[in-house]
Amino acid sequence: MLILHCPYCGVDADETELAPGGEAHLKRFGPGSSDAEFEAYLFQRENPKGVHFERWRHANGCGKWFHAARCTTTNEVFGTYSAQVTEPPRDIHDKITGKRPGWLSRWLS
């Protein structure tokens, strides 16, 4: 029973208020994409043991989607942030690397 902070309405929301939405920051592939690209977009998902970025909707609250950075093994939450970004913001990166030195981000290489 997680508690996640909704960045829109400011509520520390109980999991019963939230609906999970799977992996965050997927890039959509539409018409014109190759079969491989489309397959990866539709079906292939990260399943890390450790830091993960995921989508949540404050479904039984303000109704807004947001992103959360969470450790899948300990449920430590590094932060929640806007759904209207294509990659985790800098401050979230910093929080994770501050707590998990050596963590490698997909987006910062």
Partner 1 sequence: MSARLPKGGRFLNRSQPIEFSFNGKQLQGFEGDTLASALMANGQQLVGRSFKYHRPRGVVASGAEEPNALVNLGTGRRLEPNQRATTTELFEGLEATSQNHWPSLEFDVGAINARLSRFLPAGFYYKMFMWPRAFWKHVYEPFIRQSAGLGKAPNARDADTYEHFNITVDVLVIGGGIAGLEAARVAGSSGAQVLLIEQTAQWGGRANVDATLIDGADEEHWIEATVDALEDMDNVRLRTRVMGAGVYDHGYVLAYERLCDHDPQDGLPRHRLWKIRARQIVTATGAIERPLSFAGNDLPGVLLASAQRDYLINYGVSAGDRTVIVTNNDDAYRTALMLHNLGLEVKAVIDARAEANGPLPVAAREAGIRVETGKAIAKVKGVARVEGVAICAQVGEGAVLDEIACDVVAMSGGWSPVVHLWSHCGGKLVWDDAQAHFRPDPGKAPIGADGHAFVHTTGAASGLLKSDEILQNAHDAGADAAKAAGHKPKRGKAPTAASPDEAPIEPVWMMPQGAGHELRSKMWLDFQNDVKVSDVQLAAQEGFESVEHTKRYTTLGMATDQGKLSNINGLAILSKSLGADIPAVGTTTFRPPYTPISMGAIAGEARGKLFQPLRRTPMHDWHEANGAHWEPVGHWRRPYAFPRGSETVEQAVQREVKNTREAVGLLDASTLGKILVKGPDAGAFLDLLYTNMVSTLPLGRCRYGLMCSENGFLIDDGVIVRLSEDSWLCHTTTGGADRIHGHMEEWLQTEWWDMQVHTANLTEQYAQIAVVGPDARNVLEALGGDIDLDAETLPFMHWTEGRIGDFDARVFRISFSGELSYEVAVPASQGLAFWNALLKAGEVFGVMPYGTEALHIMRAEKGFIMIGDETDGTVIPQDLGLHWAISKKKADFLSKRAQERDHMTDPDRWQLVGLETVDGSVLPDGAYALAEGRNENGQRNTQGRVTSTYHSPTLGRGIAMGLVLHGPERMGEVLKFTNIGGAPIEARIVSPVFYDPEGKKQNV
Residue 100 identity (one-letter amino acid): R
Q: Contacts with partner 1: how many residues (CB under 8 A)?
A: 29
Q: At closest approach, how far in Å is the CB of 7 from partner 1?
A: 12
Residue 97 identity (one-letter amino acid): T
Q: At closest approach, how far in Å is the CB of 105 from partner 1?
A: 18
75 binds partner 1 (CB under 8 A): yes
Sequential DSSP letters for 39-66: HHHHH-----SSEEEEEEE-TTTT--EE
106 binds partner 1 (CB under 8 A): no
Helix (H, G, I), strand (E, B) or coil at 67: strand
Q: At closest approach, how far in Å is the CB of 81 from partner 1?
A: 13
Taking residues 34 to 53 in sequence order and writing x for each that binds partner 1 by CB under 8 A, - otherwise, the string is -x--x---x-----------
Other C-beta atoms lying within 10 Å of the C-beta of residue 52: 16
Side-chain-facing half-sphere of 35: CA atoms under 13 Å: 0
Contact residues: partner 1, CB under 8 A? 1-3, 14-15, 21, 28-33, 35, 38, 42, 55, 57, 59, 63-65, 71, 74-77, 83-84, 99
